Amino acid sequence: MSSVAVPARRLVLADLLPGSLARDAALVAGGAGLTGLAAQASVHIASLTPVPFTLQTAAVLLVGGALGSIRGLLSMSLYLLAGGAGVPWFAQHTHGWGGPSFGYIIGFVVAAGLVGELARRGHDRTLLSTIGLFAVGDAVLLAIGTLWLAADLHVSAAKAISLGVTPFLIGDMIKLGVAALVLPSAWRLLDR
């Protein structure tokens, strides 16, 4: 009788930290806090887009990749719910439900969960695969944010793309590249 090998459970970086529930709660809160901090690195150019330029995208992708799907999703859910309830940690110390950029925050939840799942499957180990998984996450959050932007501003899809995607492409590529260095570098350090 032959035995079937059970594949080893893939890990994300957070799984390498000791602890369980307390560790997970601290990581979820820390990921939300990091995203809130990254939101304060914000520039708003109203003549170009109603959505501010921030470092949140990089934080969301890193949180999802480092924490994994469940903790990443929970972390961004905490960010969304606390900001909606009044914690002033959205861009430019804002909070509340709605507005032109709120769809991106909803997209953060989905993107962090997706990036976390792809990282759990091992796509965060090399620079090229990490860029790919972050590009997928960025595309998801831009799509959700742009759909919300179109509905919030009552504009066409083409206009929403020109306001909610096009201005961010170069900056997002730079943030993606820089953020993508972090996870594979951390894995290489841990392999030593």
Residue with tokens 């960010």: 79
Residue 92: which of 154, 145, 32, 50 has the closest Cα?
Answer: 50
pLDDT of 48-63, one tens digit each? 999 999 999 999 999 9
Region 155-174: mean pLDDT is 95
Band (9; pLDDT cuts 50, 70, 90): low
User: Is 147 a member of any domain?
Assistant: yes
User: Is 178 a member of any domain?
Assistant: yes
User: Is 11 a member of any domain?
Assistant: no
Q: Residue 38: its pLDDT value, please?
A: 96
Band (107; pLDDT cuts 50, 70, 90): very high
User: Is 45 a member of any domain?
Assistant: yes
Residue 68 has pLDDT above 90, yes or no: yes
The residues, ordered by sequence, that sit 6+ positions from 158 with a Cβ below 8 Å of its Cβ are none
User: Is 5 a member of any domain?
Assistant: no
Tokens standing for residue 186: 């951390």
Structural domain count of the chain = 1
Looking at per-residue confidence, does 167 or 17 come out higher? 167
User: Is 8 a member of any domain?
Assistant: no
pLDDT of 109-120, one tens digit each? 999 999 999 999
Q: Which domain holds residue 117?
A: 24-191
Q: Residue 159: its pLDDT value, please?
A: 97
User: Is 54 a member of any domain?
Assistant: yes
Mean pLDDT rounded to a whole number for the chain: 91
Q: Residue 17: its pLDDT value, please?
A: 86
Residue 157 has pLDDT above 50, yes or no: yes
* Share above pLDDT 90 across residues of the chain, in percent, rounded to a whole number: 76
Band (179; pLDDT cuts 50, 70, 90): confident
Query: Using a CB cutoff of 8 Å and minimum separation of 24, what contacts does 37-46 make?
Result: 37/89, 39/89, 39/90, 39/91, 39/92, 40/89, 40/91, 40/92, 40/93, 42/91, 42/92, 44/91, 44/92, 45/167
CATH of the domain at 133: 1.10.1760.20
User: Is 99 a member of any domain?
Assistant: yes
Q: Residue 189: its pLDDT value, please?
A: 87
Lowest mean pLDDT among 60-64, 145-149, 150-154, 179-183: 179-183
Bridge partners (DSSP) listed for residue 90: 94
pLDDT of 70-93, one tens digit each? 999 999 999 999 999 999 999 999
Q: Residue 187: its pLDDT value, please?
A: 87
